[in-house]
Amino acid sequence: MDIKDWSGLIAATFTPMQNNGELNISAIPSIVSQLLKEGAAGLYVCGGTGEGISLTNDERMAVAEAYISAANGKVPVFIHVGQDSLFAARELAKHAMEIGATGISAITPTYFKPTSTGALIDSLKVIVEGAPNLPFIYYHFPGKSTLQLNLNEFIEVASNELPSMYAIKFTDPKLHDLQSILHTSNHKIKVFFGTDEMLLAGLAVGASGAIGSTYNFALPLYSKLIEAWQNNDLAKAKYLQNLSVTLVNTFAPFGGIEGQKAIMSMVGMECGPTRLPLNRLTASAVEELRLKLEDIGFFEWGRP
């Protein structure tokens, strides 16, 4: 697939773990097989959903290798390499290039943060030095990075100083900023929306597609939403989006990643528990979540 045409619903993958918190790499091939069967347009590995920040660099490399091997060229695979050490992120980028990733992505460091557009650009330059010829997706997530920089200025500078920047993963409810990115870049920078429960709004303002966690286990719901949007059936699209909101509101009280990992196991893609410092759901909490999902009808409208 030509990278310029990359779009659709991209699963921000989970990292399977054993009960003791160690990696469970052997689970990845079956997870990828099911994601592809259900229509995932691509994979986004070791981001927040994949607990990438909680993994060692060696573990992140192992997870990246396993997902790229399992995808076997059938869909694009982007590897998130961001972390607080820019030099370590650069090494992850180099590794992603060497193992055949489609591209790389990174959020800015989150402890010592860039305080200007120039510092952000310079930080990203260090990362992309590891894979200068791979398409780069900047991960804009102010809820985690707390950066509130001028996106128009960032796009203008990046267009000259970050030639490999291909897209932005936009996880932010400020849709006017999404529109501004597209306008400022003259649509040369693609935007993949990252707030699943607002997908319809993201599409309406110009997102090329989406990268998100719920596309791992509720892809049929969102595929129908996109089809309704493309067919100008706004009433149906709004109805389906509301089901997404209901789904998120149901699992969120159990912990965003924790609840979703539990759902993955419920639909036949065993991911195990989360790793500290995230919580670990008790068996009773998992059963409570299952009952709540049954009550809202998720296993009927959210699954194939």
Question: H or E element: which one contains 176?
Answer: helix 175-184
CA nearest 138: which of 173, 93, 175? 93
Identify the three-state secondary structure at position 203: helix
Question: H or E element: which one contains 104?
Answer: strand 103-106
What DSSP string describes 93-107?
A: HHHHHHTT-SEEEEP
Neighbouring residues of 168: CB distance < 8 A, sequence distance ≥ 6: 137, 138, 139, 140, 181, 189, 190, 191, 192
Query: What residues are annotated to the active site?
Result: 139, 169
Q: How far apart are CA 244 and CA 160, in angstroms?
A: 38
Residue whose pair of structure tokens reads 């009808």 in the numeric block: 297
The answer to whether the annotation marks 56 as part of a ligand binding site is no
The answer to whether the annotation marks 49 as part of a ligand binding site is yes
Hey, what's the torsion of the CAs at 143, 274, 60, 217, to 10 degrees? -80
Task: Report how far Cα 120 is from the mean position of its chain's Cα atoms.
Answer: 21
**Token duo for residue 14:** 């989970």
First to last CA, the chain: 25
Which residues does the annotation place in the binding site for pyruvate?
49, 211
Which residues does the annotation place in the binding site?
49, 211
